Amino acid sequence: MAKYQWYMTAMDVSHRLFLYTLLGGSLYMVGGFAYTSFVTSSQNKKKIEEYVDEHKKEQAVLELPKN
């Protein structure tokens, strides 16, 4: 005689499969978000530095010395 009925074993397997899928999908999504954030952070830093440099140049042109 089996230790558990077949439907108890089936429910246990389906429950474990659901939880592992949920956990795996969550880890996959978090990993993808972390990777994307890491990759774009350096690109965004470069864009911000370029913007600041351009802004400083514009300010220097606007603030011409007065005679």
Q: For residue 52, which amino acid is it?
A: V
- 15-47 burial, b if ≥16 CB within 10 A, otherwise e? eeeeeeeeeeeeeeeeeeeeeeeeeeeeeeeee
Tokens of 26: 């969550």
Q: Would the pTM count as exceeding 0.75?
A: no
Determine the length of the chain. 67
pLDDT in tens, 7-50: 999 999 999 999 999 999 999 999 999 999 988 888 888 888 88
What is the tens place of the pLDDT at every residue in 54-66?
888 877 776 666 6
